Each structure stands twice: as structure tokens, then as C-alpha cells.
Amino acid sequence: MKIFITGTDTDAGKTYCTAALLQGLQQRQLKALGLKPFAAGVNADGQNTDALALQSATDLPLTYQQVNPVCLVDPIAPHIAAARQGLTLTFSQLTDAVRAVEHYQTDFTLVEGAGGWMLPMTDDDYLSDWVAELGWPVILVVGMKLGCLNHALLTVQALQHAGVPLVGWIANCIDPDMLSANENIASLQQRIPAPCLAVLPFAAEGVASAMQLQLADAVINSVIHRR
């Protein structure tokens, strides 16, 4: 089972949620790995911190290059960062990244996108086109903050238009001071035609083990239900 993880926006918490899901699946004794084929922005060692987080959360001997084969230097939109480096992003790079780890024969492969759903790759292509072409199920991470209702519902509308199955969505509470957070979550539960897989509270120390397991179970149940 391959699942694509997208978000309502940059910094919605895709990596935070993907790492939590990986760890929850592994608690269920399932074989799972996380990939971030494109990443923009590097640390002092020339590596992307989101990709490193996925590598750390994956209980398999993945190299950094396997997790993140295309690492762009500038922390900006990937197609712009790539152009600055004289590179062109292609669907074949994405497909090659997934094929390169297929020998692990995982129960779940989680492929994290960059930015939101409609991420430009070139002047003509979008990352969403590649996901739609493959027909992969999608998990939407909603960064709970002012404006998230519009972002979430527009993204769901775009997912429906693309014809990709929505496994469910995660309410990721990125703003601890958000007013009426529970009411916003309830509004999304009413309007999104897919289950809320988890509400992840703001936690500087990371997602608790019990919450990781709850998230994993919700994803497993949703996938089974869809089948």
C-alpha cells in the first residue's frame, strides 16, 4: 500500500504527521517506510531536516539518498529552487525514488509531498498530476490555524476533481493559541467526506506513542474500509 501525504499549505505539519504514522504502523509490527522525493532547504550538512526526520522514523536501513533523492538548496518553491540550480524536476525522478526502495517489500510506503497539493514542478506539470496518474490514496494534513477551513475545503475539492481516493485527514494543531479550534475541527468533520484520522495536539516534545498508535489504527481501518 502506497499512500501520498499532502497538506493544506507549507508548514501544515506533513512531516510531523508522517513520522508519527510511521512509528504507529511499526508499533503494529508492520513494515513501513517514508519518502520525500523532493525537498527544498538544507542544513549545514546539505541535507533537508524533514527528510532526516522521515529517515529517523523509519525502522529500515534507508540511506538519506533513498529517502530524499532530489534535495534542493534554497528553501523556496521546488521548481524555482531547481531552476536556480539548472535542474528540471520530472515525474520519472519521483517514480525512480519509489522503485528504488521496492525491494524492502513494505506493508506501507508513505510518500510525502512538498508544500500543498497543487505544487508546480515545471511551467506545465504539477506534483498532483503524478499522484493522480498513479491513483494513489491520499492523506490530507490540515494545519489548524486561522484560514484552514478555506485551505482544507479547496484542497479536498481539488482532490475530488483529480479523482484520487482520500483515505482521511489529520487535524494537526500547529497553533496552540488558535481560537475556537474545536469548532473549526467540527466544521471540517461536517464538510470533508472522509474520516478525521486523528487530532494531533500541539506538543513540542512530539506525538505521544499512544497517539501514534491511534493514528495508525485509524489509517489501517480506513484503508480496509475503502477496499
Q: What are the catalytic residues?
A: 36
- Cα(first)–Cα(last) distance of the chain, in Å? 11
DSSP string covering 105-133, please?
--SEEEEE-SSSSS-BSSSS-BHHHHHHH
Residue 43: other Cβ atoms inside 10 A: 9
Distance, CA of 97 to CA of 105 (rounded, Å): 14
What distances in angstroms separate CA 44 from CA 41, 51, 86, 205, one per listed residue?
Answer: 10, 14, 21, 23
Q: Which of 25, 6, 101, 93 is nearest to 63 (CA)?
A: 101
Q: Which of 93, 114, 106 is nearest to 26 (CA)?
A: 106
Q: Side chain identity at 44, as an amino acid letter?
A: A
Distance, CA of 139 to CA of 89 (rounded, Å): 23
- Residues annotated in a binding site: 11-16, 50, 112-115, 172-173
For residue 45, count CB atoms less than 10 angstroms from its CB and return exposed for 0-12, middle for 13-18, buried for 19 or more: exposed
Element spanning 198, H or E: strand 196-200
- Residues annotated in a binding site for Mg(2+): 15, 50, 112
Assess contact for 41 and 75: CB atoms under 8 A: yes
